[in-house]
Amino acid sequence: MAGTLYVVATPLGNLGDLSPRAAETLKRVSAVAAEDTRHSKPLLNHAGSRAELVSFHAHSSERALERILRILVEGRDVALITDAGTPAISDPGVALVAAARERAIPIVTIPGPTAVAAALSISGIGGDRYVFLGFLPRKGSDRRRLLLTVASSEWTVVLFEAPNRVTQLLADLIDTCGPDRQASVSRELTKVFEETRAGTLQELSDHYADAPVRGEVTVVVAGTGRQKVEELPPPPDPAERARALLEEGLSRKDAANRLAEETGISRNTAYRLVNEL
């Protein structure tokens, strides 16, 4: 039997946030696939784990992926961790999870810290529905497209950003969302110098223009609260759609079923429309 791939959430910074189940898993597995083995070594020491550390990051070769899969196929368990938080979320670990799933290797989640939920919970901005966009592209049309997605989103949007690019991100958000949109910037979550600032995008931009940011950053931007009705295509006219379905060669029964599914009208109404043509 193949081993199990455990997807283990690790502390964002404070080692006290490592759950007993996560610690026990790290002690029990044969190998740990880590984004940065030097960064992860103290965590394994804290957990009392003697597992083999295997490097797996965004620039790892196919050979590195196959090495981990081979360990699993041989029947040994592997834990996947990231530098901080939950693996495979804006993280290269997703490639390993997908490859293991393709090979029917058992996969078990060991949930725990995630910067997305942590930042949302202390932002003061509604998180009952939100959109997570991770790191935006650094430039180009893709960056502009996603900035416009933030600007038009009905719901709260969560972004990750590197500290040296926060001021540019805030400036770009002001350009697309306007200066008065509510937002928050969280940095160094769970660490000694943890800080979350909330206010308008302009207020945050003014603050960080004079206060260089240190540590990984999570930005939360309030949504518009308005449904983008203009983006919803109008439903097809039932009579016209019924005629088109019959012209495609569908039987009256199949046309009526399709018509009901596509337009939302009742099946009885759909059958009547089809039979009238």
Work out the pLDDT band at 274, boundaries 50, 70, 90. Answer: confident
Give residue 212's region: left, alpha or beta (phi > 0; psi -120 to 50): beta
Dihedral of the CA atoms 7, 184, 166, 160 (nearest 10)?
A: 20
- Looking at residues 59-86, what average pLDDT do you find? 96
Residues 65 and 105 in one domain: yes
User: Please, which residues have CB within 8 angstroms of residue 107's CB and are 6 or more apart in sequence?
Assistant: 4, 5, 6, 7, 97, 100, 101
Q: Which residue has the higher pLDDT, 26 or 227?
A: 26
Residues 122 and 221 in one domain: yes
The residue range of the domain holding 260 is 238-276
Domain count, the chain: 3
pTM of the complete model:
0.79
**In the chain, % of residues over pLDDT 90:** 76
Q: Which of 41-50, 244-253, 256-265 has the lowest mean pLDDT?
A: 256-265
What are the tens digits of pLDDT across the range 83-132?
999 999 988 999 999 999 999 999 999 999 999 999 999 999 999 999 99
Measured in residues, the chain has a length of 277
Residues 43 and 146 in one domain: no
At 67, give phi and psi (nearest 5°). Answer: -60, -45
Pairing of strands 195-200, 182-187: antiparallel
**CA–CA separation, 165 vs 132, rounded Å?**
18
Residues 213 and 156 in one domain: yes
Residue 218 sits in a domain of what CATH number? Answer: 3.30.950.10
Residues 136 and 87 in one domain: no
HSE (side-chain half, CA atoms, 13 Å) at 150: 31
Residues 130 and 109 in one domain: no
187 pairs with which residues across the strands? 195, 217
Number of H helices, E strands in the chain: 11, 10
Quote the DSSP letter at residue 233.
Answer: P
**What is the token pair recorded at 135?**
């790191």
Residues 83 and 161 in one domain: no
**CA–CA separation, 130 vs 165, rounded Å?**
23
**DSSP H or E segment with residue 16:** none
Q: What is the pLDDT of residue 250?
A: 87
